[in-house]
Amino acid sequence: MRFDVLTIFPELFGPHLTHGVTRRAFESRQVDVRLWPLRDFADGNYRRVDDRTFGGGPGMVMLAEPLEKALAAVTAERCEAAPAVIHFTPTGDRIDQAWVQALAAGPGAILLCGRYEGIDQRVLDSHVTLELSLGDFVLSGGELAALALLDAVARLQDGVLGDVQSHEQDSFSDGLLDCPHYSRPEVLSDGRSVPPVLLSGHHADIRRWRREQSLALTAARRPDLIQAARAAGRLSKADEAFLAKR
């Protein structure tokens, strides 16, 4: 899959694409990320990509013409049916694991990283097919949201994490939050120990313990996810019996 990123700060992406376990996806081009510096498509000596907003008010707005030139160049190079064009904005749909899984199974997208007060609305109206947000807060630009999305997509690619169960057991993969995890030593110097069931070797008991921990954590912190899992038929009779006892 291919992601084309339109940004005025392409240098922000370099460290992320070359470090950590997800670099395998980027280096192998399982997730092919191509950076398009917007100033390359701006005119004049100063390569301006922003200007004052019509109607007055604080802040600057990203100009339509450099963005449209960049979008035309990307579309021409991709030589395929028009890809999804994603704009990162607080007014967009909140990114969740379902969005990530859908994108991870597709051909990729064009990612628009806005800055300042935003992007000229005419560009958004004409080209954007999907608006996404990290949550109910404001960032200085779309680059961090784009990086978060790329990381989430990359870790779902075959062979990136080494063990496919690593992402299958992630929070939200089955609609619930993940269970707690423990490692060596079995007992810390102050006496805190690993739950005995995890040392028992009884795989069925371990699976059930992890499931119950996941249910308990989700019910306490995100009851909305329990309701959604119930509505989707993802809770077993054993799950419901455990929740009823809490």
Q: Annotated active-site positions, please?
A: 90, 117, 155, 170
Please give the backbone phi and psi of residue 36, each rounded to the nearest 5 degrees, phi first: -120, 100
Of the candidates 37, 64, 61, the one whose C-alpha atom is nearest the C-alpha of residue 50 is 61
CB neighbour list of residue 75: distance below 8 Å, 6 or more residues apart: 82, 83, 110
Classify 65 as helix, strand or coil.
helix
Task: Fill in the amino acid letter for 46.
Answer: Y
Asked if residues 145 and 132 have their Cβ atoms less than 8 Å apart, the reply is yes
Q: How far is it, in rounded angstroms, from Cα 61 to Cα 117?
A: 5
Q: How far is it, in rounded angstroms, from Cα 166 to Cα 162?
A: 8
CB neighbour list of residue 26: distance below 8 Å, 6 or more residues apart: 17, 18, 32, 33, 154
Q: How far is it, in rounded angstroms, from Cα 89 to Cα 83?
A: 19
Of the candidates 5, 37, 3, the one whose C-alpha atom is nearest the C-alpha of residue 153 is 3
Q: How far is it, in rounded angstroms, from Cα 58 to Cα 79?
A: 39
Task: Fill in the amino acid letter for 187.
Answer: V
